[in-house]
């Protein structure tokens, strides 16, 4: 059994889509990044890579490589899942938290779970996603960005 944790943060800006867990969420701001800037999936990728001692998302998908510009993070997650399986591990579970003042995440979480379980070829009951605010504190509380944390267990 191996445990991994991941964290990611991106700045909220105008003229970008807000994509979390592979879901486009209607909102006036989106996350700035080289790919689609899906902080949730990036944190999950890092937790999986960390548990398998395979580095981090930046090692596998550098933001200096144009082939990853605008790419769907669901594709990155699929790739990471395949790496995990090639190393002989199985994903036991993933637990992740989205930290955002706005918008409300609850209506989108079931679809996020479906997307993640499909990308990793695991059952939905192996994925848990939560969301919280920071009560107006810090950069997420001031709606300047969104962050996500993830922990996973590999068998």
Binding site for a divalent metal cation: which residues?
8, 10, 42
Cα–Cα distances in angstroms (integers) from residue 89 to residues 48, 54, 79, in the given order: 10, 12, 14
List the binding residues: 8-10, 34-35, 42, 56-58, 61-65, 100-106, 132-135, 139, 142
Measure the CA–CA gap between 3 and 144, rounded to whole angstroms: 30
Nearest in space to 147 (alpha carbons), one of 13, 28, 45, 7: 7
Between CA 140 and CA 138 the distance in angstroms is: 6
């Amino acid at each position: 059994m191996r445990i991994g944790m991941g964290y990611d943060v991106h700045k909220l800006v105008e003229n970008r889509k807000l994509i979390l867990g592979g879901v486009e969420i209607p909102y006036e701001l989106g996350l700035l990044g080289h790919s689609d800037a899906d902080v949730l999936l990036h944190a999950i990728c890092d937790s999986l890579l960390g548990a398998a001692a395979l580095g981090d998302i930046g090692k596998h998908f550098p933001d200096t490589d144009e082939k990853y510009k605008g790419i769907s993070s669901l594709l990155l997650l699929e790739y990471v899942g395949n790496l995990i399986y090639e190393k002989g591990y199985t994903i036991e579970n993933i637990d992740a938290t989205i930290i955002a003042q706005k918008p409300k995440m609850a209506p989108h979480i079931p679809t996020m779970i479906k997307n993640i379980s499909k990308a990793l070829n695991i059952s939905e009951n192996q994925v848990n996603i939560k969301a919280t605010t920071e009560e107006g504190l810090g950069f997420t509380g001031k709606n300047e960005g969104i962050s996500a944390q993830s922990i996973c267990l590999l068998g």
